[in-house]
């Protein structure tokens, strides 16, 4: 299978009812992007720094804001058009964030992304922002928040500085019950580590001699003294687990591990070596929430054949995850390249579970699982 010719850009949906702090969270991401080029799509006017947008261009159209961001104010029906614009190589974006209207149905945006035939995008997860201080009142006014939480991949319990410790723990438990397997993290003023949502750029943007004003510039100027110092320990709200193995993974065991991954494990990224299962390719793995996808890539000449994974979540057992992955390594009896190992038919059957998650085309809109995201296995089977 031929891998994509161009990198796929993750598209993150940022949702939450009016006043939850999703715009503050988005501004935080823009301020702390560290060279990452972020494309922003806003599907209702007035949602983000409209004054800043009018400085640089006309609201309602694609607006170039210099080295840092591209921002659009769009209607949902225009989403595909703007995604096509933002994924052009000339835009050089690393991630796209869609800020949903406060009264939007985030599941519909997720459906549109998963059904898109744009080969340059990759689903980056649904992030639901919840106002801790107003959660009870919000549920009374908008009972549909229960449905929104049920389809979220990551829940940010925001404004936790406005409630006491006991109430905060009660809210976390209530939100976790409604959101099922989603990771739940606490935040103040929307300050979360950007690495939860996207990988930082390897190098800062190269500064042009003359360039337009960016969101990052504006927000840095507006930040109160000492504000950015609070961002130093954002990693404390989640855990990251690294795993490396020079022994190929047994595909059957590995898929069993992924199918039973624990609640709170939000992202898995990296590469998997399946040894004799596919000697020609390493498999890039992208998992967010319950969404899972593999993309095969040919091994480069002389490349060391390793499985390298990073797992990110909240409330996860790091030791258990590492042990679980270690148990997925193929032993001699299961490796076709070892004397007395498995025969080719056994290896091929074991790879079926992996190949069902390899998608060449976007899934059909109706192929959704109980969590509200597309079931890649069903979509692949129907393709």
pLDDT of residue 65: 32
> Hey, how many other C-beta atoms are within 10 angstroms of the C-beta on 54?
11
- Alpha-carbon torsion, ordered 357, 358, 363, 368, to 10 deg: 10
Q: What whole-number distance in Å separates Cα of residue 242 and Cα of residue 57?
A: 43
Q: CA separation (Å) from 231 to 66, 97, 185?
A: 25, 20, 15
Check residue 19 and give left, alpha or beta (phi > 0: left; psi -120 to 50: alpha).
left
- Contact of 7 with 199, CB cutoff 8 Å: no
Give, for 149, the enclosing helix (H) or strand (E): helix 145-150
Q: What whole-number distance in Å separates Cα of residue 176 and Cα of residue 80?
A: 32
Q: What whole-number distance in Å separates Cα of residue 4 and Cα of residue 329?
A: 27
For the chain, strand residue ranges (E) read 9-15, 38-42, 63-64, 69-73, 95-99, 121-131, 154-158, 183-186, 239-245, 265-272, 281-288, 291-298, 307-313
User: How remote is the C-alpha of 3 from its chain's centroid?
Assistant: 21
pLDDT of residue 103: 67
* Nearest residue to 99 (alpha-carbon basis) of 44, 62, 61, 51: 44
Mean residue pLDDT of the chain comes to 76
Helices (H), 260-375: 318-326, 344-355
Query: Model confidence at 86, in pLDDT bands (50, 70, 90)?
Result: confident
Kindly report the three-state secondary structure assignment for every residue of 318-343.
HHHHHHHHHCCECCHHHCCCCCCCCC
Query: Model confidence at 117, in pLDDT bands (50, 70, 90)?
Result: confident
Q: What whole-number distance in Å separates Cα of residue 188 and Cα of residue 24?
A: 10
For 56-153, strand residue ranges (E) read 63-64, 69-73, 95-99, 121-131
With a pLDDT cut of 70, the percent of the chain lying above it is 69
- At 11-42, the pLDDT tens digits run 999 999 888 998 889 888 888 877 788 888 77
pLDDT of residue 89: 85
Q: What whole-number distance in Å separates Cα of residue 61 and Cα of residue 320?
A: 49
Query: Model confidence at 52, in pLDDT bands (50, 70, 90)?
Result: very low
- At 216-231, the pLDDT tens digits run 444 444 444 444 444 4
pLDDT of residue 107: 85
| SS3 label, residue 312 | strand
Mean pLDDT of 83-97: 85
pTM (2 d.p.): 0.75
């Amino acid at each position: 299978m031929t891998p994509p010719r161009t990198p796929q850009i993750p598209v993150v949906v940022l949702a939450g009812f009016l006043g939850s702090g999703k715009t503050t969270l988005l501004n935080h991401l823009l301020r702390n992007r560290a060279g990452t080029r972020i494309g922003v799509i806003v599907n209702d006017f007035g949602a983000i720094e409209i004054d800043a947008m009018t400085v640089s261009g006309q609201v309602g159209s694609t607006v170039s804001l210099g080295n840092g961001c591209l921002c659009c104010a769009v209607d949902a029906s225009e989403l595909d058009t703007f995604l096509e614009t933002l994924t052009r190589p000339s835009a050089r974006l690393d991630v796209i964030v869609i800020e949903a209207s406060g009264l939007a149905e985030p599941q519909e945006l997720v459906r549109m992304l998963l059904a898109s035939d744009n080969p340059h995008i990759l689903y980056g997860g649904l992030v639901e922002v919840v106002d801790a201080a107003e959660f009870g009142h919000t549920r009374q006014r908008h009972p549909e928040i229960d449905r929104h939480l049920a389809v979220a991949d990551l829940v940010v319990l925001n404004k936790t500085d406005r409630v006491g410790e006991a109430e905060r723990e009660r809210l976390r438990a209530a939100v976790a019950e409604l959101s099922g397997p989603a990771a739940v993290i606490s935040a103040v003023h929307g300050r979360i580590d950007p690495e939860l949502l996207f990988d930082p750029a390897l190098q800062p943007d190269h500064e042009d001699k003359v360039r337009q004003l960016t969101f990052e510039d504006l927000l840095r100027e507006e930040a109160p003294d000492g504000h950015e110092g609070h961002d130093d320990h954002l990693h404390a709200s989640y855990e990251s687990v690294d795993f490396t193995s020079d022994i190929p993974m047994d595909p059957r065991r590995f898929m069993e591990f992924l199918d039973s991954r624990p609640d709170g494990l939000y992202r898995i990224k990296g590469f998997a070596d399946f040894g004799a299962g596919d000697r020609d390719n390493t498999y890039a793995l992208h998992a967010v929430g319950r969404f899972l996808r593999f993309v095969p890539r040919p091994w480069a000449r002389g490349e060391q054949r390793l499985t390298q994974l990073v797992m990110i979540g909240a409330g996860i057992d790091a030791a258990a995850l590492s042990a679980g992955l270690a148990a997925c390594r193929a032993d001699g009896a299961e490796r076709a390249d070892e004397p007395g190992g498995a025969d080719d038919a056994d290896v091929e059957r074991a790879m079926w579970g992996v190949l069902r998650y390899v998608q060449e085309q976007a899934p059909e809109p109706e192929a959704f699982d109980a969590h509200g995201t597309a079931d890649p296995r069903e979509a692949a089977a129907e393709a």
